Structure 1
Amino acid sequence: MAPSYQGDERADKAVYVVRAEGTFAAAHYLSSYHGKCETLHGHNYRVRAYAAGRKLDEGGMVLDFGILKKALREVLARLDHTNLNDHPFFQENPSAERIATYVYEEMVKKLPGTPIWKVEVFETDENLAIYLPYGDTFPPLP
């Protein structure tokens, strides 16, 4: 049973968020970095994409996990086992921040009308970049 916020200030603020996670392995180098990352090296990236909504569909979901996961896998497949510096999107350094931006932009193309809230890219378990296209707020939500 869904929570009832009728007459509650939360009624207009409640947001549902769903997340899909995927991985890919790729090489890259960062020019003008002046460190070990300036030479070609690789990462096993982990990526999380989040979609958000205020309303649930007739099935009680913001978005079917399978749809979100499939879109993310298709986006990551284009990067898997490549040199990111050879990818047309990365005319500048393929940093984790730019990878997050790329994943966001491709997810929006694959899922038009779906509010993608944020994308997280882990280069390692400890190093993470987050892209929030709407800053610290949610995108316009249905």
Structure 2
Amino acid sequence: MFRLRVDDHVMIAHSLAGEFFGPAQNLHGATLAITATFERQGLDEHGVVMDIGVATQLLSEVLEPLRYQNLDEHPDFAEKISTTEVICQHIALQLASALPEGHGLQALEVAAEEHPRARGMVRIELSPA
């Protein structure tokens, strides 16, 4: 399995409702370091998983609507608790839908690092298009 990993970051605000979340129930800001990993069984005809520039641009475009937003007010997070894992899932699904036709990828993983000792992630299987 070959992988290509690209990074970016996003600054958001949110609150996490419920006693379970302790002080994070209050509105607070977070800078999430986002890593997207694209996977395929073999390399394409150019000897790559996918073009690094395309992967970087896709991640940036998916993050753009989230930048400097309060996720408590963001329509994509209505009726959801915007935990790190939920944010990862949102980004992964947006990336999957933005992939070019014929991408040939088998899986996509998105990780969000809240700080150097904590990160959440999700991996989704793809149908190679």
Same fold by TM-score greater than 0.5: yes
| Deviation (angstroms), 1:36 | 0.8
Of 54, 62, 71, the residue aligned with 1:75 is: 62
- Runs of at least 4 residues off by over 6 Å: none
Partners in 1 of 2:89 and 2:120 — Cα distance?
10
CA RMSD after TM alignment: 1.7
Higher helix share: 2
TM-score, normalized by length of structure 1? 0.80
1:6 is matched with which residue?
A: none
Query: Percent of aligned positions with the same letter in both sequences?
Result: 26
TM-score, normalized by length of structure 2? 0.87
The 3 A distance-change label for structure 1 pair 141 and 34 is closer
- Greater Rg over alpha carbons, structure: 1
Any unmatched runs of 5+ in structure 1? 1-14
Partners in 1 of 2:39 and 2:15 — Cα distance?
33
Native 8 Å contact 1:50 1:119 kept in 2: yes
Would you say 1:121 and 2:108 are equivalent positions?
A: no
The 3 A distance-change label for structure 1 pair 69 and 38 is same
Native 8 Å contact 1:54 1:141 kept in 2: no
Partners in 2 of 1:60 and 1:92 — Cα distance?
40
Partners in 2 of 1:68 and 1:27 — Cα distance?
26
Higher strand share: 2
Of 98, 104, 107, the residue aligned with 1:110 is: 98
